[in-house]
Structure 1
């Protein structure tokens, strides 16, 4: 068993020595997570798709121009004519159409698309908070695992000395075989705990690679905790005013309210204008060709009379969706308020736990030192010393866990307030500009136009071309 532990310890040590000597900070991990996150790339793509909905809504307000080419064959088999006749014809037409009046539905569709874009931007911030918190969690998991491995390794080293001393004292008759067996059993348990700790470290490294985008090097101690809010009430007020989940829900309510108005306006008529110009020729079997040119302008007024109840159904559905969004907004607001309160309590508990473990270590160290001294005088048994040492080890392990938990709790509190963002943390990154793509496409640019050239530049800058 000792050989196995030694091999694993050497492997773990070799792994860490392979990394650069400079320690990697929590800020480094957050920057890497922000720059390498596939989840953020997905959310940004969703946002760009929403931007294109605005371009589509704008295009519905503009005229359309289509071409139409047709080739046809006709057969005349009327016996009263001079005989059977085949006719071949070709036509080319250009058709322009413009919706003059739609009851405001096209305008409302544009407003709904713009609100959906704003909702998607808030969704991107929600995803950013998730990515950054996961990076914090992964960093603290690895950091605590490294500390625990070192603690377990030191325990194995100390217990090896205890076993060796117990065997020596047994040889001279100072202790019994039972004392030696107790020391050996505790050493075996410590070796098993070390293997488990090294396994937790490897698991944490894989989590780190997933959330940060690379495997960890030597991790520096966590920095001072960021500022959150002076009071729980202040934290809750900040969250209710500016949390991206609440703002996103508010935008979605507005979208559904617009959709209700649009469904209500579906009974109104539509007035459209069209113009066409065309050319056609027809050739019979004798080679005679007729050429025709035509042009025309028309106005069309069209409105529903009976749709089998479809329009009323769509209107009721839109109202139900609006009511659902309103209820979701209320639920989201309540959840955020509860999350702030819970995060604040967890933060307080983690701080109290950290202070308590500090006192626990001090007391356990005094108890261990005293027990070991008393054992040399024959007033304590080997088991007493081992128990005191285990108490000290447990206290040290609890402090490692409490320290990591405090870091997680503070960043979770920031996330509950809606402030766990690259901007608020002051991360040295080039933040994604959601307005750049929107400004390039919101006016539905035409290929080759000035806006189209600007769009090409934006696409190149985000690596999507």
Structure 2
């Protein structure tokens, strides 16, 4: 009796533990992208770089403010002439400096750092959008390989069922021994295909783990609204050139280099400073030794102009350097322009090809299914062999596998187009990371019907491991 009671309580506690375990919920593509962006080191790195550039703007603005300094010192002075006595001098100076003119260097440096902040913000958007595309790729790869594994197992079940029937017919003398050998060969191939597809799924899950930082669980197939895609290739190119964040970052880099070139002009102009000094000292000047009151107190006001006449051609070389840096930034922008056009054209062509493939493979699938059904009926009346039925069913499963592959390729091509136009994150109803906010930028126009509030992606809550 105690033993039964013990087993009953153990079973009850086990059921209770299962009841308390949270159910594994399906993960949508939007959720996977959000988690991926929050934890991706590349996104976090460019976000920190963007925040660092904010501080560089503050550093540049410091040139608009005065500087205040305090100097104090005390020591021992062993004097031999003009008198023989040891002194103990001390000095305190309070200084204030305010630059009034520096060849517009401060203003241009502030503008340069602001342009670098804009460039960094666009870089955050570009990296986040590329991370979203990579997440979409591994997400779809898991779903595709799960579907292909299901077909491979269906194919194996079909081979096993027909192999059993042929074995019975061979043992009874109805079928030839060669048919049995053939089905065994094909059965082993089907088993091998299951092993291969299982390995492909494990690889896809590992890639998912590397990108999203956790294993996939109950993924759901996403769909892309065709209204989000451009109407044609020309419109896709226009959208890419107008909104691709990598290209906009390159344009901001050019502006930063131009402002740097303006800063390099400032050494060719004079600087004007206002200086105020309050001085307290004793025994620092020998002439005061003969005064009864050896302490000295001065207040000095200066308007000081400085103009360099020769600096070993350093400033000339610096100006030429910044000129070449502007040209470098322009060539980088031109290279980025080419990459953006190449990417959107390849993505669009892949999208068009996938649509045609899916159309043809759908027709193939229908004919293969019809053929398989007809062969089964014909075998029932003795007009077909089991190997004929197996061939037809294998053709149907292969058609389903190719159709599945083409459908996921087409789906990924749509995400590539959205990424190529810089709109993948908004298309997933996600907001850009806070560090990707760009001053003076309006959000892209949305459809007339109300849209759900975008999910905010924040990197501030990420803890460094």
Q: Tell me which interval the TM-score lies in, with the shorter structure as reference length.
A: 0.7 to 0.9
Deviation of residue 357 (structure 1)? 1.7
Stretch moving more, 23-32 or 408-417: 23-32
User: Helix, strand or coil: the match of 1:304?
Assistant: coil
Within 5 Å, which residues of 2 pair with 1:41-60? 41-60=44-63
**Is the 1:54–1:110 contact (alpha carbons within 8 Å) kept by the matching residues of 2?**
yes
Deviation of residue 56 (structure 1)? 0.8
User: Helix, strand or coil: the match of 2:434?
Assistant: coil
Structure 1, gaps ≥5 residues long:
1-17, 284-288, 439-458
Deviation of residue 74 (structure 1)? 3.7
User: Helix, strand or coil: the match of 2:93?
Assistant: strand
Match of 2:237 in 1: 236
Residues of 1 paired with 2:224 and 2:42: CA distance?
A: 28
**Is the 2:121–2:437 contact (alpha carbons within 8 Å) kept by the matching residues of 1?**
no
**Is the 2:121–2:435 contact (alpha carbons within 8 Å) kept by the matching residues of 1?**
no
Match of 1:453 in 2: none
Deviation of residue 42 (structure 1)? 1.9
**Is the 2:425–2:432 contact (alpha carbons within 8 Å) kept by the matching residues of 1?**
no
Deviation of residue 387 (structure 1)? 3.8
Does residue 29 of the first structure (1) align with residue 32 of the second (2)? yes
Does residue 309 of the first structure (1) align with residue 274 of the second (2)? no
Within 5 Å, which residues of 2 pair with 1:48-447? 48-76=51-79, 78=80, 82=84, 87-226=87-226, 227-280=228-281, 291-372=295-376, 384-422=388-426, 424-427=427-430, 431-432=433-434
Question: TM-score, with normalisation over the residues of structure 1?
Answer: 0.81
**Is the 2:433–2:459 contact (alpha carbons within 8 Å) kept by the matching residues of 1?**
no
Deviation of residue 343 (structure 1)? 1.4
**Is the 1:263–1:315 contact (alpha carbons within 8 Å) kept by the matching residues of 2?**
yes
Stretch moving more, 147-156 or 329-338: 329-338
**Is the 2:87–2:283 contact (alpha carbons within 8 Å) kept by the matching residues of 1?**
yes
Structure 2, gaps ≥5 residues long:
1-20, 285-292, 441-457
Residues of 2 paired with 1:430 and 1:121: CA distance?
A: 10
Stretch moving more, 219-228 or 354-363: 219-228
Q: Mark the CA change 1:260 to 1:81 in structure 2 (over 3 Å): closer, same or farther.
A: closer
Q: Mark the CA change 1:259 to 1:62 in structure 2 (over 3 Å): closer, same or farther.
A: same
Deviation of residue 267 (structure 1)? 1.4
Deviation of residue 272 (structure 1)? 1.9
Deviation of residue 115 (structure 1)? 1.3
Deviation of residue 136 (structure 1)? 0.9
Deviation of residue 28 (structure 1)? 2.4
**Is the 1:26–1:223 contact (alpha carbons within 8 Å) kept by the matching residues of 2?**
no
Q: Mark the CA change 1:462 to 1:270 in structure 2 (over 3 Å): closer, same or farther.
A: farther
Q: Mark the CA change 1:73 to 1:206 in structure 2 (over 3 Å): closer, same or farther.
A: farther
Deviation of residue 131 (structure 1)? 1.5
Q: Mark the CA change 1:464 to 1:93 in structure 2 (over 3 Å): closer, same or farther.
A: farther
**Is the 1:119–1:249 contact (alpha carbons within 8 Å) kept by the matching residues of 2?**
yes
Deviation of residue 464 (structure 1)? 8.6
Q: Mark the CA change 1:157 to 1:302 in structure 2 (over 3 Å): closer, same or farther.
A: same
Q: Mark the CA change 1:367 to 1:310 in structure 2 (over 3 Å): closer, same or farther.
A: same
TM-superposition CA deviations, 1:429-454 (whole Å, max 9, x none): 6852656999xxxxxxxxxxxxxxxx
Q: Mark the CA change 1:410 to 1:80 in structure 2 (over 3 Å): closer, same or farther.
A: closer
Match of 1:451 in 2: none
CA RMSD of superposed structures (Å): 3.2
User: Helix, strand or coil: the match of 1:345?
Assistant: helix
TM-superposition CA deviations, 1:33-70 (whole Å, max 9, x none): 33433332222211111111111111111111122333
Q: Mark the CA change 1:249 to 1:193 in structure 2 (over 3 Å): closer, same or farther.
A: same
Deviation of residue 321 (structure 1)? 1.1
Residues of 2 paired with 1:363 and 1:237: CA distance?
A: 41
**Is the 2:361–2:402 contact (alpha carbons within 8 Å) kept by the matching residues of 1?**
yes
Deviation of residue 410 (structure 1)? 0.4
Q: Mark the CA change 1:80 to 1:126 in structure 2 (over 3 Å): closer, same or farther.
A: closer
Match of 1:13 in 2: none
Deviation of residue 91 (structure 1)? 3.5
